[in-house]
A and B are shown apart, each in its own frame.
Chain A
Amino acid sequence: DSGVTQTPKHLITATGQRVTLRCSPRSGDLSVYWYQQSLDQGLQFLIQYYNGEERAKGNILERFSAQQFPDLHSELNLSSLELGDSALYFCASSVDSGSTDTQYFGPGTRLTVL
């Protein structure tokens, strides 16, 4: 158990819909990262937040957005869903003290778009 929690574990929805994935980082970690993992794309970095502010952006679509709240939990919003958005979405957290910057991954949310 990494200490990172994600809800829900599974989500099944239809094309065109909007969903919100939630992540709570490990106690004391200020950074949250979001990743998408699909069979054909591997693990793709989406976005990073640190203490409420966006710090780095990867291959995140305009239909996707994220935020980190004052209590440090984060939400990833996916809208106008397409079949290709079906994937495992992982959240990870780190202290970001400037040392090893080790990321601890949550168990993931499996999104299925029908």
Chain B
Amino acid sequence: GQNIDQPTEMTATEGAIVQINCTYQTSGFNGLFWYQQHAGEAPTFLSYNVLDGLEEKGRFSSFLSRSKGYSYLLLKELQMKDSASYLCAVRSGGVTDSWGKFQFGAGTQVVVTP
């Protein structure tokens, strides 16, 4: 099975930086994804890591350490519109699944205050 843990909620002020951590336990790791989801809307893709290291995309960066089962999403220069839930998702393959299952964490609600 897989366990994915991320904090329930984080609060930060506009213009600040927030780091959302995600730890996971899985076998047959095949990639880690971060999604943003505003209330009542569909998740939207933010980033993908399959190799160790940092991936930077504008104000958002994501880091992965496979040996530690750890990832973080870094949000810089926070804006009010960044208030949303951030979902960490892990894909892992198995004997019976050709390309692997996805499992999502419960999400971290980020609240950006003025």
Q: What count of chain B residues pass the 8 Å CB interface test?
A: 22
Which listed residue (B43, B99, B101) contacts A105, Cβ 8 A? B43
A43 within 8 A of partner (CB): yes
**Interface of A, helix, strand, loop or mixed by DSSP:** strand
Q: What count of chain A residues pass the 8 Å CB interface test?
A: 23
- Could you say which of A11-19, A69-77, A95-103 contacts chain B? A95-103
B98, A44: Cβ atoms under 8 Å? no
Which listed residue (B41, B87, B97, B100) contacts A43, Cβ 8 A? B87
A108, B48: Cβ atoms under 8 Å? no
**Interface of B, helix, strand, loop or mixed by DSSP:** strand
CB nearest neighbor in B for A103: B45
A42, B106: Cβ atoms under 8 Å? yes
Determine how close the nearest CB of chain A comes to the CB of B18; give it in whole angstroms: 20
A90, B43: Cβ atoms under 8 Å? yes
B7 within 8 A of partner (CB): no
Annotate B24-42 by CB proximity to A: 1 below 8 A, 0 otherwise.
0000000101000000011
* 29 A-B residue pairings within 8 Å (CB atoms): A2-B42, A2-B44, A33-B102, A42-B105, A43-B87, A43-B89, A43-B107, A44-B104, A45-B102, A48-B101, A48-B102, A55-B97, A56-B99, A56-B100, A56-B101, A57-B97, A57-B101, A58-B101, A58-B102, A90-B42, A90-B43, A101-B31, A101-B91, A102-B33, A102-B45, A105-B42, A105-B43, A106-B42, A107-B42
